[in-house]
Structure 1
Amino acid sequence: MTKIFLATGNQGKIKEMKELLSNLDIEIVTSDQFEDVPEVIEDGDTLADNAIKKAKELAEYTGLIAIADDTGLIVDALDGKPGVYSARYAGENATDEENNKKLLHELADLSLEERTARFKTVVALANPGQEEESIAFKTIQGVCEGQIGYKPLGENGFGYDPLFIPKGYDRTFAQLNSEVKNQISHRAKALIKMKKYLKRL
């Protein structure tokens, strides 16, 4: 059975990614199964840069095929911010609550119609058996359109999920159950495409 390393320490992402990849004939491996997994500095200019960097470095470290993602919330009224800085929008090591609070403050005077936004995920797959120049040889992206609500709602999810209302719904990601979210989310769309690629691989 092929082992695939999920290159993230975010427990929310791990849970979602395991659910989305659950019906493949693969063994999912995470960082708690290794000692001293290096922290990859996400200093890329784009989501793709960060995803590829994480996948490559951790494929090299573990010797396994590695899947990494980087996700950004793109808010139109903020000229695309927080974007690549989504996880640290309120500062380095900011909590989800602090990031959400800053976002709400910056959108305080806007109507719901003016709060259009989208989540974008880029997933990268790296295979340590490939030549160095092509070790990260597959990137796939998924996008989910929506709006930013006025206050955090819901107990599910993580990050900006309590604020993000996906298009066609009147509830936030954090109010939706995982079955629904895993059909419509940005990460789901990207990983569904990646599953097809993994089956061929």
Structure 2
Amino acid sequence: MSLEFVLASHNAKKVREFQRIIGDRMPQASVLAYDGPEPVEAGLTFAENAFIKARTAAAHTGRIALADDSGIVVDVMGGAPGIFSARWAGSAAGDEANVRLLLDQVADIRRPHRGAEFRCTIALVVPDTVLPGGHEFVAEGRWRGNLAYEPRGSHGFGYDPIFEPEGLEVTSAELRPEQKDEQSHRARAFAALMPELERVAAQLAG
């Protein structure tokens, strides 16, 4: 039985990343891009924002929806940018502006005090039109590392060019996509989510 999930994101790179990760674990599954309205992410945690997006996509499409809320958490900044990672330099700013602002803010901080981690929370929402009573689940993944002093690499997106995963001397933007998929915060969140996706698939196959 084939499964289709709508990903509550207008970020084409994220859609492709989700398809790679899910496809490796559930070959019968496919990830569809979301073309509906952008919800207001008014939550105070990654989980709250992920559910806001997933519920909006599920209601708009009538399909099983996935949404992630992810960002970078910097130790010396008390956990910032956190849920504000995507708009750290302003709501209209892009990745480059966000990265540059963060680097400027920690410019005087040297190793070993540049610790950081990527966090990813994935929300799953199955509407009651698909499964009687509906269903919701949330999973989290964390990826420890350090902030680089300057951006390096051309893969990935967001803060990948300045995040050096623990134990590596490259940034996550210098990893090949398949290498990143094996160890990233998103991959770890998916590892926690997969048993739930398989249970939903079994119920639908029923």
Q: TM-score, with normalisation over the residues of structure 2?
A: 0.90
Partner of 2:204: none
Tell me if the contact between 2:15 and 2:32 (Cα under 8 Å) persists in the aligned partners.
Answer: no
Question: How far apart are residue 137 of structure 1 and its match?
Answer: 1.4
What is the SS of the residue equivalent to 1:113? coil
What is the SS of the residue equivalent to 2:161? coil
CA–CA separation in structure 2 for the residues paired with 1:64 and 1:48: 20
CA–CA separation in structure 1 for the residues paired with 2:89 and 2:134: 33
Question: How far apart are residue 193 of structure 1 and its match?
Answer: 2.2
Tell me if the contact between 2:62 and 2:129 (Cα under 8 Å) persists in the aligned partners.
Answer: no
> Which of structure 1's runs of 4+ aligned residues deviate more than 4 A?
none
Query: In 2 relative to 1, CA 102–130 (structure 1 residues): closer, same or farther, beyond 3 Å?
Result: same
Within 5 Å, which residues of 2 pair with 1:97-108? 97-108=96-107
Tell me if the contact between 1:20 and 1:192 (Cα under 8 Å) persists in the aligned partners.
Answer: no
Structure 1 stretches of 5 or more lacking a match? none
Amino acid at match of 1:52: F
CA–CA separation in structure 1 for the residues paired with 2:65 and 2:72: 24
CA–CA separation in structure 2 for the residues paired with 1:2 and 1:85: 32
Question: How far apart are residue 6 of structure 1 and its match?
Answer: 0.9
Partner of 2:141: 142
Query: In 2 relative to 1, CA 156–162 (structure 1 residues): closer, same or farther, beyond 3 Å?
Result: same
CA–CA separation in structure 1 for the residues paired with 2:4 and 2:16: 17
CA–CA separation in structure 1 for the residues paired with 2:157 and 2:165: 15
Partner of 2:17: 16
Paired residues in the alignment total: 195
Deviations 1:76-105 (A, max 9, x none): 111111001000001112110000010010
Question: How far apart are residue 130 of structure 1 and its match?
Answer: 7.2
Partner of 2:31: 28
Amino acid at match of 2:52: K
Q: TM-score, with normalisation over the residues of structure 1?
A: 0.92
CA–CA separation in structure 2 for the residues paired with 1:175 and 1:146: 14
Partner of 1:184: 183
Q: Percent identity?
A: 38
Question: How far apart are residue 152 of structure 1 and its match?
Answer: 0.3
CA–CA separation in structure 2 for the residues paired with 1:87 and 1:100: 10
Tell me if the contact between 1:55 and 1:68 (Cα under 8 Å) persists in the aligned partners.
Answer: yes
Structure 2 stretches of 5 or more lacking a match? 201-206
Question: How far apart are residue 192 of structure 1 and its match?
Answer: 2.3
Matched, 1:92 2:91: yes
Question: How far apart are residue 74 of structure 1 and its match?
Answer: 0.5
What is the SS of the residue equivalent to 1:175? coil
